[in-house]
Structure 1
């Protein structure tokens, strides 16, 4: 179980998001970000050349929401050095408590790291107006910890799937052995 985010962390995330001009006002941040559109807008704000907004459409169906997030993962996040896990995406889509805040914190840290280390100066600067300031920096070890947690969860998920598959194969093997034993008994060979 993840520790709840501190109020200070939440305020930093909300302040950062409030500095970015979004197409719709935030009413309930979990629901507002569930379809991935606002996340695409944030990425477009900082990296306009990497994000084609026409690839994303407002969605109420889980399938379309997943499509939007998968598109972000493959066309944007991956190109700047990270992806969100299936669990992270599913928790945001299903509006789980603090899921979007955790993802925003993680994305903000990754984005800041990318912008600081990217040599293409045209992509480095977000489109800011005079009333906007640069986002507050996150400590590098915080996002590294978050990244490790997400990677470990992903590894656990893969291992659980493998374990489930091995259990299925063992059941199939046991069923075959039982059938062969019955055949041997029926033919008097056992």
Structure 2
């Protein structure tokens, strides 16, 4: 962890860090990571369940920085089979140039290893799950239907079914963690959908009220227009009648 990195390795590391969205702008890597907060954010980006960011306080004091790194070692890094020595931590908290890069490089490697293990465990566990299901179906025998002369009913098996296969009795915690993350993401999406559905319902109600108001105003206008039209016609008829006798008299003579 104390070995110097080549320029190529450093550039690759910086590019990797730049791809990750962190809470603070990246200006000087030695100072940026000195309090351990951004290191915690790095791990949380890949494994959200491993890190509780509320435990890590942005700090300028060396004591708080040491506390953050100590907590990272105890609560996070050990789950990645990773540890930062005390002397290295002291150099990091003092923002010594070149002290953080080897640590981040080693941390990146541990993150990649855990990701690879997670994928491997997922694949193996799913293969095992599929095999066990196939075996259970074979042992239970073929599925049969009720007598064709009777009304269609539920499917009946010739033997009692085995208890449902429980996924992951001996599954690695990494796989359990992955499942929990997926469940949390699904729950968050469901909550978002419910919120959007509520907003849509409210908007539909508002549109309905607007339509009723427009309909009411339209009827009101229709009731006013015939009165005005009738008044105009009455005045015209009156004028015509006043002139009519004179014309009739002329024609009679």
TM range (shorter): 0.5 to 0.7
Change (3 A) 1:60 1:97: same
Which residue pairs with 1:91 in the alignment?
Answer: 91
Q: TM-score, normalization: structure 2? A: 0.46
Superposed displacement of residue 122, structure 1: 5.7
Higher helix share: 2
Superposed displacement of residue 95, structure 1: 1.4
Structure having the higher Rg: 2
Q: TM-score, normalization: structure 1? A: 0.61
Equivalent residues in 2 for 1:1-190 (5 A)?
4-118=4-118, 119=121, 120=175, 123=178
Task: Tell me, in whole angstroms, the C-alpha distance in 2 between the residues paired with 1:81 and 1:28.
Answer: 28
Which of 1 and 2 has higher RCO (CA within 8 Å, sep 6+)?
1
1:49 aligned counterpart, secondary structure: helix
Unaligned ranges ≥5, structure 1: 127-190
Number of equivalences: 125
Unaligned ranges ≥5, structure 2: 122-174, 182-253
Deviation track 1:56-102 (CA, whole Å, cap 9, x = no partner) reads: 01001111001110111110000121211112211211112211111
Change (3 A) 1:55 1:27: same
Deviation track 1:126-155 (CA, whole Å, cap 9, x = no partner) reads: 9xxxxxxxxxxxxxxxxxxxxxxxxxxxxx
Change (3 A) 1:88 1:123: farther
Change (3 A) 1:123 1:13: farther
Task: Tell me, in whole angstroms, the C-alpha distance in 2 between the residues paired with 1:29 and 1:123.
Answer: 30
Superposed displacement of residue 123, structure 1: 3.5
CA RMSD, Structure 1 to Structure 2 (Å):
2.1
